[in-house]
Amino acid sequence: MDEQVIQKTILSGIQPTGQLTIGNYIGAMKNFVRLQNDYETLYMVVDLHALTVPQDPKELRHKTLSVIAQYISVGLDPEKNNLFIQSHVTGHTELTWILGCLTGLGDLNRMTQFKDKSSKPGANINAGLYTYPILMASDILLYNADFVPVGEDQKQHVELTRDIAMKFNYRYSDTFTIPEPIIPKSGARIMDLQNPLAKMSKSDSGESGRLALIDEPSVIAKKIKSAVTDSGSEIKFSEDEEKAGIRNLLTIYSNLTELSIADIELKYKSRGYGDFKKDLADIVVEKLSPIKLKHDDLMKNKDYLESVLKSGAESAQKKAWKMLGKVYRKIGLVQAAR
């Protein structure tokens, strides 16, 4: 008899809140690509999460498709991965309600992302921003994901997901898999090029602080050239606060070339920031140009993107219904006659 190999499940999502940055790539997407061959993988565009900040409807539609195109452009094979849009699958918001009834306000109050986003001047502090982590927990638990590749800033949300899952399992018997985050050792928090003490973010960073995967090569070169460093000149990785700029650039360099920091330091031993930045710009352009070309091409082929999304959502929906049915039964909702 053939032995059936049960693959573990990987799941992650990215918000269509702007153009994907090199931070999203190094912190999360590089791992999405690396893991695609050995696991059952589900990668979503979390459009419902994006609604926690005001969105222009037309732009949101465009950005959502653009993220799917960028998933494929960085190397995710639609034949091997379930690529889909969160709102295409029924179950995420239903489970959010159920898990919300198990989540303490104290837990939500501890979430640093909520504290950061709601303390920004002029922030639109809505209930969605507050309950955001419960929707994320539903995304993960609905598919019994074993591993969740994310950047450092999402670690706390995955921890909350684990707590919610354990609470449910304890109260209603074993139901959910307890997920674990997969966070890269280097590059889990790429910083803003203009303010290297803040995270590079696709919606919060200014234009010159972030490198978009689909930036034009000339724009990339300009942004790297004007990246904030310090008055020193030595290319050296240091934890000192004033060295945050060069430390960030070294991290990007190392992640795109797979050279160790020590090797890069050696290579630039007697050279200055100018030389280093010029080389880094070439490296980033070489890495991102094919991604941009492929993305631009895919965006002209909406029929193809729609076919990818259709099959991704169909297979995700089957899993979601199954899990939601199980949860409904366990908590005592009467099964609907069909």
Catalytic residues: 117, 199, 202
- Tell me how far apart the terminal alpha carbons of the chain are, to the nearest angstrom: 37
* Amino acid letter for position 30: K
Q: Rounded CA gap, 124 and 120, in Å?
A: 9
Cα 289 to Cα 59: distance, rounded to the nearest angstrom = 23
In the complex with ligand ATP, which residue's Cβ is closer, 26 or 74?
26
Q: Which segment (84-92, 172-180, 197-205, 296-304) binds ligand ATP by CB under 6 A?
A: 197-205
Extract the tokens encoding 85: 């849009």
Question: Contact at 8 Å (CB) between 25 and 74?
Answer: yes
For ligand ATP, give the closer residue by CB, 61 or 318.
Answer: 61
Q: Which of 9, 19, 24, 81 binds ligand ATP (CB under 6 A)?
A: 24
- Please choose, out of 9-17, 237-245, 305-313, 322-330, the segment that lies near ligand LTN by the rule CB under 6 A: 9-17
**Candidate list 139, 146, 192, 215; residue touching ligand LTN; CB under 6 A:** 139
Window 25-64: contact mask with ligand LTN (x via CB under 6 A): ---------------------x--x---------------
Please choose which of ligand LTN, ligand ATP, none residue 204 contacts, taking the beta carbon within 5 to 8 angstroms, the exact cut-off set by kind.
Answer: ligand ATP
Does residue 148 sit in helix, strand or coil? strand
Residue 305: both structure tokens together: 């993107």
Note whether 271 binds ligand ATP by CB under 6 A. no
Residues 189, 153 contacting (CB under 8 angstroms): yes
250 binds, among ligand ATP, ligand LTN, none (CB under 5 to 8 A by kind): none
Contact 84, 44 (CB under 8 A): yes
Residues numbered 162-181 forming contacts with ligand LTN, rule: CB under 6 A: none
Instruction: Look at strands 147-149 and 180-182 and give their pairing.
Output: parallel
Contact status: 27 vs ligand ATP (CB under 6 A):
yes
> In a 3-state reduction of DSSP, which class is residue 244?
helix
- In the region spanning residues 105 to 164, those forming contacts with ligand ATP, defined by CB under 6 A, are 150-151, 153-154
String of DSSP letters for 156-185: HHHHHHHHHHHHHHHHH-S-S---EEE--S
Q: How far is the CB of 256 from ligand ATP (least distance, A)?
A: 13
Nearest Cα to 325, choosing from 102, 146, 90? 90
Buried b or exposed e, range 179-195, using 16+ CB within 10 angstroms? bebbbbeebbbbbbbbe
With CB under 6 A as the contact rule, which of the stretches 136-144, 200-208, 299-307, 315-323 interacts with ligand ATP? Answer: 200-208
Q: Would you report the helix, strand and coil content of the chain in percent, each value rounded to 5? A: 55, 10, 35
Residue 82 β-bridge partners: 42
Quick one: 27 or 179, whose CB is closer to ligand ATP? 27
Q: Which stretch binds ligand LTN (CB under 6 A): 31-39, 133-141, 253-261, 267-275?
A: 133-141
Considering only the stretches 12-20, 122-130, 244-252, 320-328, report the one whose residues sit in contact with ligand LTN under the rule CB under 6 A.
12-20
Q: For residues 91 and 47, is the Cβ–Cβ distance under 8 A?
A: no
| Comparison of 43 and 176: residue with beta carbon closer to ligand ATP | 43
Total residues contacting ligand LTN (rule CB under 6 A)?
A: 13
Strand pairing category for 82-85 and 180-182: unpaired
Residue whose CB is less far from ligand LTN, 160 or 193: 160
Q: Which positions touch ligand LTN (CB under 6 A)? A: 11-13, 15, 46, 49, 136, 139-140, 148, 150, 154, 157
The residue ranges that bind ligand ATP (CB under 6 A) are: 14-15, 17, 21, 23-24, 26-28, 150-151, 153-154, 188-190, 199-204
